[in-house]
A and B are shown apart, each in its own frame.
Chain A
Amino acid sequence: MTNLTRNDIEIATRAADHFTRLYYSTYDSATRVDDLPKFYRPSSALVWNGKPLQGSDGVRKLLGGMPTTKHDIQSFDCHPIPGSQPPSLMVIVSGTVVHGKGPAGNPPSTPSKSVDGQPRVFSQTFMLVPDPNAPKSTTGEVAKYYISADAVRFVG
């Protein structure tokens, strides 16, 4: 293992910031079925609420049957994991997600105290790793990263 430098930490933090914005805005977009799988590779492992899925195809299939979403990120954190150069990143995200039409989509007879349609709290953790085979597209690019593992749960 190598020691983390301040530079590693900074790059990791910035990457996590950029990544979370991109990922959830893509997830919430009309083109998510085509676009979100691009963050993954065929070897990626995912677990959605305890259900295992494999790779980009698994993501595509999952999203094909998913109601529309609107994510709101409330906190995220990121560690560079030493052991590879550049380091892998572990990103943990906490926030809420509204599915479908939210409370507005409930039938009129729904009691006001119903939790149906209300935002759910979700927790999602990603392992982001450098892709050694991806061509570098910009001058300052350290590496191209993809999601090698992803575990998400509704937790509230």
Chain B
Amino acid sequence: MLSSPSPAPSGRSIAANALRKAGLMDRDRDERMRDASDKPGGRKGAQKSTQRARAHPHRPRAIDAITGKDLPGASNASRVSMLASRLAAGDSIAIRGASKGTLGRLRRNAVSGSTSADAATESKVISLWKEFVHRRWNPEAKFLNLERMAEDDYIRRNALVAPGAPGSTNKEASVIFKIASKLTPEVETMSLAHNNITSASTIIGLPRYLPKLVNLSLEGNKLRMWKDLDYIAGRRGRLENLRELVLTGNPIREVEYQNNRVDQYKSEVARRFPSLEILDSEAIAKIAFDVPQASTSTALPAQPAATTFPCEMGPSFLTGVDGSIISNFFMRFFPLFDNQRSALVDAYHPDATFSFSANTAIPARARIEGYHHSKEMPNQRKLEWSPWLLGGHGGSRNLNRMGGGVEKMAKTLHIGNQEVVKAMSDLPKTRHDVAGAPEKFCVDAFPVTHGDSMHLFVTVHGQFVEEPAEGIRSFDRSFMLAPAPEGSRAKQSGWDVMILSDELVVRAYSSHEAWRPGPMRVQAGEPFPPSASPAQLPPANAQAQALLQEALSSIPEPQRSLVMQICQRTGLNVAFAVQCLEGNGWDLERAVANFEQVKGTLSRDAFL
């Protein structure tokens, strides 16, 4: 009998191939599996069990569900913890939910149309994970309990590599999270406790697949470094609703506690998850807003959105304050800021705050206009961001870019007039031409109540020349000003108002045309809002005008502007314009196109 040089592919080696192909398993694991199946008498048995598993993958044994839960220490989370207690309470339900879930829901993977054996096995591996997820899923509690996966009998029996187990990559977890993302109702609570996770890079897929997770336990893992946690830190659209997090039992927490750095620990975590309310069963101090709840936000938009702006760009807006106070302030402030920053020390309240931040993004409109390479501004390319990113005693305070740096966040806020002036003096020298080119500046100012007193809320937008490059930058600067009390340093130095707070944003140059007063256009080719200038209406006699205005007045915004535009572009009267728009889903271009098709068939009374 000739011995075959390589054993015929057993079910298991096909599975191993598929796993490796799918990136779910590395070579070592493959070797170990081969070893196991090469044991005398072992291969046959393994093959059998694999075949059985394949034949009846959805037949759960009650014992499996229980063994998963009946592990040493599984219930040691009995400390007073909201999530922890919910997790514990969920255990018994989880078993029920899991077995129930596997009955109807488990199907072979949708890839079953494939004819390739590998693909079939690959889909089978995913099916195995699917069954596992459904076993651990408690739909009533919206709770997916993925504790101690490596110890689960089901995982062992099916030779799956659990996330965090030796030989695992971040793929296994991503597969699980992807499956979990399709569960209904949506997963709200997840426990990944006791999985030997050493870096959150293992579970990097979590924010992507389950962005709306509310409660997460990572208890009893081996997270050690802050950067480990950064992989799952809340970002825009990712884990923005995370309310409760458990990190108990991870070195990242325990080491900080041992070193009496509890406050630092808490703020480092809270910085990464701004929505967090409870950390390790303790409430986090935070400021709340009247957040629109996702569940109430199901109402359909009542009307089509407007296609024009509701108002024109207005000129500088000042109210509740004598304009001369503001102009005197700036006429003195900016020259001193340009030439002698230290002299501003008395303009700031002794407890004043100042910070600056750099928005280094390239503005789209300015790029199209070619300002970066124009002959008129030859020095734009010489400008560098480094003096703003690194200068000014701590650098830019762009909190959008600051990651988890609590230290930097504190260091870049300059408190007290001496500190403020010191930080400002380390910034690039500037020239603000407030006297020579007032159109290049735009100010909005109005009073606000603050505590028991009235303050002035002032924003100014404009541009300055930055030395030594001689290039031009744009800036936005917001101030909180208070009247300078008699006898104060500010008053004695001739300031009517003093600065409580000063926030400066420096950004790449954009033209001051942006705030030139007048109508603004949303899309090219559109007429400017007709409400702004009735002269743009099609010529018609006064009576027709009056009728049109009357007909229009009964139509709510934003439909009205659409109707106006249709009237202008087609000459249809209001009633027909409304019909035309209604027939085309209130889409202006479709309505116009439709009109062009049918205009020959319309009777005279369709028109104005």
> Could you tell me which A residues sit within 8 Å of B by CB distance?
1, 3-4, 6-7, 9-22, 25-26, 29-31, 33-36, 38-39, 45, 47-52, 61-62, 64-68, 73-84, 86, 88-90, 92, 94-96, 99-101, 105-107, 109-110, 113-121, 123, 125, 127-130, 134, 136-146, 148-149, 151, 153-156
Would you call B317 and A139 a contact (CB within 8 A)? Answer: no
Any A CB within 8 A of the CB of B186: no
- Report if A139-B271 is in contact (Cβ < 8 Å); known contacts: A45-B448, A90-B480, A144-B289: no
B588 to chain A, nearest CB (A): 10
Cα distance, A120 to B312, chains bound together (Å): 15
Any A CB within 8 A of the CB of B426: no
Please give, as numbers and ranges, the residues of chain A lying within 8 Å of B457 by CB-CB distance: 125, 127, 149, 151
Any A CB within 8 A of the CB of B353: yes
Would you call A31 and B311 a contact (CB within 8 A)? Answer: no
- Report if A143-B288 is in contact (Cβ < 8 Å); known contacts: A35-B297, A51-B317, A92-B478: yes
B282 to chain A, nearest CB (A): 8
Can you spell out 11 A-B residue pairs with CB atoms less than 8 angstroms apart? A1-B351, A12-B287, A21-B236, A33-B301, A39-B290, A50-B442, A52-B319, A105-B523, A121-B363, A144-B290, A153-B476
Would you call A75 and B522 a contact (CB within 8 A)? Answer: no
- Report if A1-B349 is in contact (Cβ < 8 Å); known contacts: A83-B453, A151-B444: yes
Prevailing SS type, chain A contact patch: mixed
- Report if A17-B399 is in contact (Cβ < 8 Å); known contacts: A22-B291, A77-B357, A125-B478: yes
Would you call A51 and B476 a contact (CB within 8 A)? Answer: no
Please give, as numbers and ranges, the residues of chain B lying within 8 Å of A83 by CB-CB distance: 450-451, 453, 500
Would you call A90 and B511 a contact (CB within 8 A)? Answer: no
* Interface locus among B16-24, B333-341, B407-415: B407-415
| Nearest 5 pairs of A and B residues by beta carbon | A50-B314, A156-B510, A140-B283, A65-B310, A116-B524
Please give, as numbers and ranges, the residues of chain A lying within 8 Å of B501 by CB-CB distance: 79, 81, 90
- Report if A65-B399 is in contact (Cβ < 8 Å); known contacts: A121-B363, A125-B459, A141-B286: no
Cα distance, A123 to B507, chains bound together (Å): 11
- Which among A90, A114, A116, A138 has the greatest number of chain B C-beta atoms within 10 A? A90
Would you call A156 and B305 a contact (CB within 8 A)? Answer: no
Would you call B503 and A73 a contact (CB within 8 A)? Answer: no
* Interface locus among B105-113, B373-381, B512-520, B543-551: B512-520
- Which among B299, B399, B515, B521 has the greatest number of chain A C-beta atoms within 10 A? B399
| Residue in contact with A154 in the complex, picked from B236, B302, B355, B515, CB distance below 8 Å | B515
Please give, as numbers and ranges, the residues of chain A lying within 8 Å of B315 by CB-CB distance: 50
| Residue in contact with B297 in the complex, picked from A31, A101, A120, CB distance below 8 Å | A31
Please give, as numbers and ranges, the residues of chain B lying within 8 Å of A117 by CB-CB distance: 522-524
> Could you tell me which B residues sit within 8 Å of A by CB distance?
236-237, 240, 263, 267, 270-271, 274-275, 277-278, 283-292, 297-303, 305-317, 319, 349, 351, 353, 355, 357-359, 361, 363-366, 368-369, 397-401, 406, 409-410, 413, 415, 442, 444, 446, 448-451, 453, 457, 459, 461, 474, 476, 478, 480, 500-501, 503, 505, 507, 510-511, 514-515, 517, 520-525, 556-558, 561, 589
Cα distance, A11 to B299, chains bound together (Å): 33
| Residue in contact with B523 in the complex, picked from A35, A52, A116, CB distance below 8 Å | A116
Please give, as numbers and ranges, the residues of chain B lying within 8 Å of A139 by CB-CB distance: 277-278, 283
Cα distance, A34 to B300, chains bound together (Å): 10
Would you call A101 and B523 a contact (CB within 8 A)? Answer: yes
| Residue in contact with B459 in the complex, picked from A86, A99, A123, A137, CB distance below 8 Å | A123
Would you call A22 and B521 a contact (CB within 8 A)? Answer: no
Please give, as numbers and ranges, the residues of chain A lying within 8 Å of B309 by CB-CB distance: 65-67, 99
- Report if A148-B317 is in contact (Cβ < 8 Å); known contacts: A66-B310, A92-B476, A94-B359: no
| Residue in contact with B361 in the complex, picked from A36, A49, A74, CB distance below 8 Å | A74
Cα distance, A51 to B24, chains bound together (Å): 58
A33 to chain B, nearest CB (A): 7
| Residue in contact with B286 in the complex, picked from A11, A22, A84, CB distance below 8 Å | A11
Nearest-neighbor residue (CB-CB) of B266 within chain A: A10
Would you call A146 and B289 a contact (CB within 8 A)? Answer: yes
Would you call B515 and A118 a contact (CB within 8 A)? Answer: no
- Report if A145-B288 is in contact (Cβ < 8 Å); known contacts: A67-B305, A118-B364: yes
Would you call A45 and B446 a contact (CB within 8 A)? Answer: yes
- Report if A106-B286 is in contact (Cβ < 8 Å); known contacts: A9-B413, A153-B459: no
Would you call B514 and A154 a contact (CB within 8 A)? Answer: yes
Cα distance, A86 to B287, chains bound together (Å): 9
Would you call B444 and A110 a contact (CB within 8 A)? Answer: no
Nearest-neighbor residue (CB-CB) of B283 within chain A: A140
Nearest-neighbor residue (CB-CB) of B275 within chain A: A18
Would you call B515 and A106 a contact (CB within 8 A)? Answer: no
Would you call A34 and B311 a contact (CB within 8 A)? Answer: no
Would you call A125 and B503 a contact (CB within 8 A)? Answer: yes
A145 to chain B, nearest CB (A): 5
- Report if A137-B302 is in contact (Cβ < 8 Å); known contacts: A51-B314, A75-B505, A153-B459: no
Would you call B517 and A140 a contact (CB within 8 A)? Answer: no
Nearest-neighbor residue (CB-CB) of A98 within chain B: B364
Would you call B500 and A81 a contact (CB within 8 A)? Answer: yes
Please give, as numbers and ranges, the residues of chain B lying within 8 Å of A143 by CB-CB distance: 287-288
Please give, as numbers and ranges, the residues of chain A lying within 8 Å of B286 by CB-CB distance: 11, 14-15, 18, 140-142
Cα distance, A143 to B363, chains bound together (Å): 37
- Report if A22-B306 is in contact (Cβ < 8 Å); known contacts: A78-B399, A155-B461: no
| Residue in contact with B306 in the complex, picked from A10, A17, A65, CB distance below 8 Å | A65
Would you call A106 and B311 a contact (CB within 8 A)? Answer: no
Would you call B311 and A51 a contact (CB within 8 A)? Answer: yes
A13 to chain B, nearest CB (A): 5
| Residue in contact with A49 in the complex, picked from B271, B365, B515, CB distance below 8 Å | B515
6 new A-B contacts, CB < 8 A, other than A66-B310, A81-B480, A99-B522, are: A7-B285, A10-B409, A49-B313, A79-B413, A140-B285, A148-B448
- Report if A67-B289 is in contact (Cβ < 8 Å); known contacts: A17-B274, A92-B478: no
Please give, as numbers and ranges, the residues of chain B lying within 8 Å of A61 by CB-CB distance: 310
